[in-house]
Amino acid sequence: MKIGIPRALLYYRYHTLWETFFEELGVETVISPPTNKGILDSGSIYAIDESCLPMKIFLGHVEWLIGRCDMILLPRIASLGRQGSACMRYQAAYDVARNAFRGRQIKLLDYNVDLRKNGGQIETFLSLGRAVGKKRAQSLHAYLAARQADKAVGTAELLHQQDLLRGDRCRILVVGHPYNVYDPYVGGPVLDCLRALNTVPIIADIVDRREALERSANISSTLPWAFNRQLVGAIDIYRRYVDGIVLMSTFPCGPDSLVNEIVVRRVRELPVLNLLIDGQEGSAGLETRLESFVDIIHFKREEDITLA
Amino acid sequence: MKAYLGIDVGSISTKGVVIDSKNAILASEYLWTEGDPMGAVRRLLKALASQLEGKDVQVAAVGTTGSARKLTGAMTDAQVVKNEITAHAIGTTSLYPDVRTIFEIGGQDSKIILVENGIVVDYAMNTLCAAGTGSFLSSQARRLGVQVEEFGEIALTSQHPTPIAARCTVFAESDLVHKAQIGHKKEDIIAGLCKAVVTNYLNNVGKGKKIAPPIVFQGGVSKNVGVKKAFEDATGFPVTVDPNGHLTGALGVAILARKSGKEQPFSFGVADMDFVTRGVECGKCSNRCEIICVYQNGRLIDSWGNRCENGAIRAAK
């Protein structure tokens, strides 16, 4: 049996967990390739017009997996309990995909998280193990190994980023959902551009998640969405170490449209750039915005801007 | 005498200046891009060369800005290729050292630049939507059967500007048609449009920004006195429009070229060279990038548009 995992949405947050879990169970996985134009185009055909860019990309990845695996893993997250709720897209992704590809005879593997109703993450993984025909003890063992692997990767990333906070190079905090920041088709050009402008991008997603959730209250204590809360908390953690903040959102993200406004109003001591990304082909608008933003920071740092 | 050339190629118009080492303008030209940036640059260079004829001027460095800055930079082998926001800020602060706020409305975009002590501290630019920019005004002028150049003067004659929904271009247009059909006077509608542009601007790019005087208003739309007056009414501060306001981008990038320290004699003979661009679709992966190749007299001099290294086309230097 082969499990397909779409390289989209929550993949970027949970991939070590998922991949290790299946590996430990001896279940083969196939992951769709990094987003490219072909994937976005096919996703756009299946998504409704008003759908957000990440959702279109997600459907493109699901489409790519059809015929290449026996089951496709589709997470559905309703609530992360005290951490907050999730955007409607995470709740709907499973059903949207099932409906969009009805008649294509696909088998979906659901991964439900609703901490208000069910137990913790462990329950979710046990039922995932059951669905692929594994015993409870096997699944439990695989889950614990996956947890450990995920923690190790997270710690390594965090240590690497802490190294970047030293030295006097110009640092820009990039605040965005992992599926935007790490997607080479969406956030890739932004990170490349920032590096080409001689700055060090600091990724808000790489953070001690528990600390970030707590510190988000320093900027806003009323945000409903867990993932946004974490990003806002990361701003509070990193604000002392960076020269500017880029808020990277994809069009038309509901939670981000509210949260970005709050950040712009409440984080006053740093220049903030609100960067909205759609499926546009040209990169000229992006370059203009990032280059002029970095120029402002260099002006402030009294560096020769023609060097940038 | 050493001089520096700045070229600003926007979506609608192409601007160029030649300055001396004290930023004084020796020659300047303003013409329409007409969807052909390379042709426009060629015409621009010819016009500048003829203005400088008989003078002992040698251009030592070139800077380009505006949405066609890369293309123009490749054509002229420019020392500095800079975004238009920085270029405008540098140009405007050289003319008005004590400016605090710069409003800029161009053909396709609008921006606000905040300056403190001659240093840019913040800016904002319209996001995905071009509502309230020059293109919107000129399409509405056409609809009303008025030359866009007369727009401002007509707006000033209005006593009671018609309120027009400013949020979205599409809705503004249907609102405008509706207001005309129920009998609002043309000058009131035009004045209402100018007001709508300003409201839209202040609520979008200007949102949350502290607007302090002195204010300088530039970009193509600044030539419209109706919009200038609407800005003064809305902010309560006088708004300055420089007669050379359309040149500040070109001026700014010429100053940056001068300050870059990189020098290489430039010949206006570039205008007579043959430039061709060709779009090639890269088939090496499913991104299918459209790569633009620029040829000078049949020789590839630059290329861009590839998302990854696979699509890199090396120019023979």
Sequence ranges of the domains in chain B: 2-89+249-272, 98-241, 275-311
Q: How crowded is residue B298: how many other Cβ atoms within 10 Å of its Cβ?
A: 7
In terms of Cβ atoms closer than 10 Å to its own Cβ (0-12, 13-18, 19+), residue B291 is middle
Cβ pairs bridging A and B (under 8 Å): 65
Read off the pLDDT of each residue in A23-50 and give the average, rounded to a whole number.
Answer: 91
Integer CA distances (angstroms), B89 to A280, B82, B159, B218, B259, in order? 27, 12, 35, 11, 15
Rounded to the nearest 10°, the torsion over CA A161, A166, A167, A172 is 50
Read off the pLDDT of each residue in B198-222 and give the average, rounded to a whole number.
Answer: 87
The pLDDT assigned to A206 comes to: 96
Read off the pLDDT of each residue in A44-56 and give the average, rounded to a whole number.
Answer: 88
For chain B, helix (H) and strand (E) counts, in that order, are 9, 13
CATH superfamily label, B98-241: ATPase, nucleotide binding domain (3.30.420.40)
* Total residues belonging to chain A: 308
| pLDDT, tens digit (0-9, with 9 covering 90-100), for B36-73 | 888 999 999 999 999 998 888 899 999 999 888 988 99
Phi, psi of B291 (to 5 degrees): -100, 130
| pLDDT, tens digit (0-9, with 9 covering 90-100), for B240-268 | 999 888 899 999 999 999 998 888 998 88
Write the residue in B124, B127, B256 that is nearest to A306 by C-beta: B256
Phi, psi of B97 (to 5 degrees): -60, -25
Write the residue in B82, B119, B285 that is nearest to A299 by C-beta: B119
Residues 6+ apart with CB under 8 A from B227: B105, B152, B155, B194, B197, B198, B217, B221
CATH architecture of A2-152: 3-Layer(aba) Sandwich (3.40)
Output the CA angle B180-B185-B186, nearest 5 degrees. 80
DSSP code, position B161: P
State the Cα–Cα distance between residues B76 and B62, nearest whole angstrom. 7
Chain A residues whose C-beta is within 8 A of a chain B C-beta are 36-39, 185, 188-189, 251, 264-265, 271, 274, 276, 278, 281, 284, 287-289, 291-293, 295-296, 299-300, 304-306
The pLDDT assigned to A281 comes to: 53
Quickly state the pLDDT bin for B178 (edges 50, 70, 90).
confident
* Total residues belonging to chain B: 317
- Calculate what percentage of chain A has a pLDDT beyond 70: 95
Structure tokens at B186: 């043309």
| pLDDT, tens digit (0-9, with 9 covering 90-100), for B122-156 | 888 876 566 667 888 888 888 888 888 888 889 88
Q: Lowest-confidence range among A193-197, B148-152, B160-164, B284-288?
A: B284-288
Chain B residues whose CB is inside 8 A of the A306 CB are 80, 82, 256, 259-260
Q: Which helix (H) or strand (E) holds B301?
A: strand B299-304
CA-nearest residue of chain B to A290? Answer: B83
Higher pLDDT, A295 or A246: A246
| pLDDT, tens digit (0-9, with 9 covering 90-100), for B65-103 | 988 898 899 889 999 999 988 899 999 999 998 999 999
ipTM of the complex: 0.70
Quickly state the pLDDT bin for A280 (edges 50, 70, 90).
low
Structure tokens at A62: 């699901």
b/e string for B193-231 if b means 16 or more Cβ within 10 A? bbbbbbbbbbebbbeeeebeeebbbbbbbbbbbbbbbbb
DSSP code, position B315: P
Distance from CA of A278 to the nearest CA of B (A): 8
Q: Where in chain A is the domain with CATH 3.40.50.11890?
A: 2-152
Structure tokens at B156: 């000033």
Higher pLDDT, A35 or B200: A35
State the Cα–Cα distance between residues B10 and B85, nearest whole angstrom. 12
The pLDDT assigned to B221 comes to: 87
Contact B303, B293 (CB under 8 A): yes
CATH fold group of domain A166-307: Rossmann fold (3.40.50)
Contact B287 A271 (CB under 8 A): no
Higher pLDDT, B308 or A68: A68
| pLDDT, tens digit (0-9, with 9 covering 90-100), for A66-101 | 999 999 999 888 878 788 888 888 888 899 999 999
Per DSSP, the residues of B62-114 read EEEESTTHHHHHHHHT-SEE--HHHHHHHHHHHH-TT--EEEEE-SS-EEEEE
The pLDDT assigned to A302 comes to: 65
Quickly state the pLDDT bin for A307 (edges 50, 70, 90).
very low
State the Cα–Cα distance between residues B255 and B4, nearest whole angstrom. 8
State the SS3 of chain A: CEEEECCCCCHHHHHHHHHHHHHHHCCEEEECCCCCHHHHHHHHHHCCCCCCHHHHHHHHHHHHHCCCCCEEEEEEEEECHHHCECCHHHHHHHHHHHHHCCCCCCCEEEEEEECCCCCCHHHHHHHHHHHCCCCHHHHHHHHHHHHHHHHHHHHHHHHHHHHHCCCCCCEEEEECCHHHHCCCCCCHHHHHHHHHCCCEEEECCCCCHHHHHHHHHHCCCCCCEHHHHHHHHHHHHHCCCCCEEEEEEECCCHHHHHHHHHHHHHCCCCCEEEEEECCCCCCHHHHHHHHHHHHHHHHHCCCCHHHC
The pLDDT assigned to A301 comes to: 73
State the Cα–Cα distance between residues A8 and A193, nearest whole angstrom. 22
Q: Which of B195, B99, B182, B114 is nearest to B151 (CA)?
A: B195
B2-89+249-272: CATH class: alpha beta
Distance from CA of A38 to the nearest CA of B (A): 6
